[in-house]
Amino acid sequence: MTRGVYRYLYRAIFTLLIAFLASPALAGEARNRENKIFLASSINNSHPYVGQETVLTYTLYFKETAPKISNETIPLLRGVWAKETPPERYIQSIPALFQGGIFRSAVIKQFRLVPLQSGEITVAGYSIVCTQPQEQIPDGGKDVSDTRLRITAPQVIISAQALPEPVPEGFAGAIGTFQLNLLANKKSIKAGEPLILKLLLSGTGSLLTLKLPDLHLPASFRQNPPEITTTLKANALPTTGSITATTVAWPPSVGDYQLPSVQSVVFNPETKQFDTIFTKPLTITVTPAAQRTTSSGVLPPTVVPEQETTFSIQLIIAAIALLLASAFVVIRKQTNTAKKTQLHGKEKMQTESGRSAASLKQQLFVELENSGIKSPGGLTRVELNHALHEIGIPDNVQLEFTALLDTLDKILYTPAGAKQGTTSDSIAAKVNTLSIALKNAAGSQNIQ
């Protein structure tokens, strides 16, 4: 009998103790119900694979007047790759039902998460401070201060699954459904023209974390590093869009070049299988550069020496006519001096004209790169004129520049030019003049 009394007494004391300890939490819950405001956590896939994207959403529920949000605390994100979805400028609220009650709801925070490890991952700690404006008491009553309270969202548990074994070689994080394409701006190009290649991966899935496969070009190709651009569909769950790697390359010479197929390993979470996607191989044909008519800015190399020879003969005849009027001794001295001068001029001309067209063209390209024009050898004449205009080169000088390049190309690529391989001193002088113009343009850019 005594034991039974003690037993009931212990139960009563234990119940009172539990009620005492739980009273603050119950009071806080009662206040939340009174304020009619709370946070909810949701995730669109609580059992993703490692590397598969899932979306975590925090939604605010409230009644009556919308609260002001401040002092946000970001959740603890361990074991996941996370990217916050850009918030809207104005948070929209919509009517919603929650546990039988009518509320207004607004998505206030959203994260795209990618598990980095298998097992349970807990995401917790997100909280905000809400300020609710209170209605003023009319007829001279006392003002009621706004209500401020911090509310915390429930934790979320992600149960990440390991990818099925064995994971194929070449898998680089692509989880979802994708297509792979290789595109070229032209299938047939002229020698010296740039070839623009685009490797395009499009679809739905882990576009934010995967790695594009490499594009393997022939070793003889000169190429720039690929430029990566990402285009995503707004508010798509999961991420939908495309990633493009753009590569500019220059085939070395005339011929047919085979670009091999590019492949990527993809895991499909719906079928739970790995698949390999391919691009179609491409064949690029490089044809000889078209022979262009030399513009009037620079004369052909066969005309320039002829004009120079005629001009030199006229000078010699005039000098001889003047020397005949002088004494024999003076004529002899002047003749010897003229011969020495002519010999020196020939040696100088031989030195100037002995420079190859390739070295003069290389000098121009070096000055172009120093003035800020990248990869001038891969530019068309239209692109080169536009680049020269951008750095402040006048139109007439642009015409002289392109005409000079045409003359040098004619020397380099015609059979006669290939045998001789040298240029006249007037072309070398023209190269020096245009080089000075490029240096001046580069100097004016640096000052600006």
Does one domain contain both 374 and 268? no
**Could you tell me which residues are beta bridge partners of residue 229?**
244
- Separation CA 316–CA 310 (nearest Å): 10
Domain finish residue from 104, 126, 160: 160
Cβ–Cβ < 8 Å for 242, 150? no
Q: Judge whether residue 224 has pLDDT over 80.
A: yes
Mean per-residue pLDDT over the chain, rounded: 78
Is 425 contained in some domain? yes
Residue at 10 is within a domain: no
β-strand partners of 123: 156
pLDDT tens profile 228-238: 999 999 888 88
Of 224 and 352, which is predicted with more confidence? 224
**Per-residue pLDDT at 13:** 56
Does 245 lie in the same domain as 283? Answer: yes
**pTM of the predicted model over 0.75:** no
- Cα distance between residue 319 and residue 331, in whole Å: 10
Single-letter amino acid code for the residue at 402? T
Check residue 101 and give its pLDDT: 83
The token pair at 391 is 């750095």
DSSP letter for each residue of 137-182: PTTTPPP-PPEEEEEEPPPEEEEEBPPPSSPPTTEEEEEEEEEEEE
Provide mean pLDDT across the span 326-349.
53
CATH of the domain at 262: 2.60.40
- CB count within 10 Å of CB 91 equals 12
Residue 396 lies in a domain: yes
User: 282 and 362: one domain?
Assistant: no
How far does the chain reach from its first CA to its final CA, in angstroms? 103
Q: Contact, 209 vs 157, CB < 8 A? A: no
Measured distance CA(297)–CA(385) in Å, rounded: 15
The verdict on 333 and 443 lying in the same domain is yes
- Residues 279, 394: one domain? no
| More reliable by pLDDT, 107 or 20 | 107
Residue with the two structure tokens 């002092």: 71
Report the alpha-carbon distance of residue 352 to residue 423 in Å, rounded: 8
Cβ-proximal residues to 296 (8 Å cutoff; 6+ apart), any chain: 403
Here the tokens at position 283 are: 């064949």
Domain of 153?
Answer: 31-134+144-160
Domain boundary at 287, 312, 343, which? 287
Tell whether 45 and 155 lie within a shared domain: yes
Residue with the larger pLDDT of the pair 133 and 249: 249
What's the pLDDT band for 144 if we cut at 50, 70, 90?
low
Burial letters 59-68, b for 16+ CB under 10 A, else e: bbbbeeebbe
- The helix or strand, by DSSP H or E, that contains position 283, with its residue range, turns out to be strand 282-287
Res 25 pLDDT > 50: no
Higher per-residue pLDDT: 69 or 440:
69
> Is 182 contained in some domain?
yes
Q: What is the pLDDT of residue 77?
A: 92
**Do 155 and 179 fall into the same domain?**
no
Question: What's the rounded mean pLDDT across residues 95-106?
Answer: 86
Is position 181 within any domain?
A: yes
Q: Is 6 a domain residue?
A: no
Whether residues 312 and 438 fall in one domain: yes
β-strands 263-268, 171-184: how paired? Answer: parallel
Q: Provide mean pLDDT across the span 328-340.
A: 58
Domain boundary among 236, 259, 287: 287
Residues 315 and 259 in one domain: no
212 and 83 belong to one structural domain: no
Cα–Cα distance for residue pair 394/443, rounded to 1 Å? 15
348 and 268: one domain?
no
Write the single-letter amino acid at 262.
V
pLDDT tier at 261 (50, 70, 90 boundaries)? Answer: very high
pLDDT at 280 over 70: yes
- Are 340 and 398 found together in one domain? yes
Q: In Å, what is the CA distance from 193 to each residue of 212, 406, 424?
A: 26, 15, 28
Q: Is residue 219 part of a domain?
A: yes
pLDDT (tens digit per residue) in 341-398: 554 444 443 444 456 778 888 888 888 888 778 777 777 877 788 888 888 888 888 7
Phi and psi (nearest 5°) for 137?
-75, 125
Asked whether residue 23 is assigned to any structural domain, the reply reads no
Number of structural domains (the chain) is: 3
